[in-house]
Amino acid sequence: MKAARQAVSYAAEQLGFSAVGVAAADAPQGDSLSRWLQAGCHADMDWLERHLPLRQEPAKVLPGVRRVIMLTYEYPRQDARRATGSVARYAQGEDYHKLLAPKLADLDETLQMYGGRQRCFSDSGPVSERFFAAMAGLGWIGRHSLLVRPLGGSFCFLSCILTTLELPVDQPMANHCGSCHRCEKACPTHALSHGQCDARRCLAYWTIETRQETAPPEIQEALRGRLYGCDVCQEVCPWNRKETPRRVDPHLLMPARVAGMTTEEMADLSWEKWEELFANSPVRRTGAEHLRRNIHAFSPVTSES
């Protein structure tokens, strides 16, 4: 299966992926995810709990799976926003799901030529992508719970291919966070601890996932000026000062008219203009009304008199 591994690595490089690694599909995942869920750290993202059995056993996702191929794809480190109101770097360009899906389909076709059956995901399926990326030797899990790479840091998308092919596996990498706790200390709401993120305090959760109209006072205060997501833990990570593995895909760069648009202009967008600007953007996920909610920040929690 060395030929298949070489073929998929070459094809991935041609398609713009910055690294490829392979892990055994049956690698023991431990109980850290179960304990995280039991502690309620997933907030109201109930699908994480429902999908736990699939995440823990990839064979339930693809019967006969032997390997998990993990790939990285760079997104911008630099903040393109020139106006107030921050947007997480990964969401400043086009929707990465749509960008990466045809590339993964091409890799699937390559592996089919060697007799493999595959299922492909990019942050879209019940697979523990960060775990397998670490097991595949692409980096290690940092204290902010993200994959960190010696070359490239954490600003990257992860994609995975479950395959029935028995490809050569790569060796995991040692954790190089050392005594650094900058991400934990910098988190505006203290959501990070021991390599895990408590979604109940994470600003990405509050600006993207939740549909609540109120937030605890300390969360509400930290939300000011955040439109979509949060990059603080990545911004302070020393590994993100390292050289990037390759150039960023121009499709992932923020359009100039969005980069300079004020929050007032965003709040006043008509439905037609909203669709025109964000039809192919990850920001579309939160919806126009909830983006306006973020612009005006959450309503304060009122106590009963």
What's the alpha-carbon Rg for the chain, to the nearest Å? Answer: 20
Tell which residue, 120, 125, 128, 123, has the closest CA to residue 27: 128
Q: Which helix (H) or strand (E) holds 33?
A: helix 32-38
Among the listed residues 123, 231, 249, 268, the single catalytic one is: 123
Annotated catalytic residue 95: no
For 300: left if phi > 0, alpha if psi spans -120 to 50, otherwise beta; the answer is: beta
Cα end-to-end distance, the chain, whole Å: 69
How many other C-beta atoms are found inside a 10 Å radius of the C-beta of residue 305? 3
Q: Which residue is it, tokens 């699937």?
A: 108
Distance, CA of 245 to CA of 255 (rounded, Å): 23
Distance, CA of 75 to CA of 249 (rounded, Å): 7
As given in the structure block, the two tokens for residue 23 are 């892990």
Q: Which long-range contacts does 110-114 make (Cβ < 8 Å, 24+ apart)? A: 110/7, 110/8, 110/11, 111/4, 111/7, 111/8, 111/161, 111/163, 111/165, 113/7, 114/1, 114/3, 114/4, 114/7, 114/165
Q: Which residues have a catalytic role annotated?
A: 123
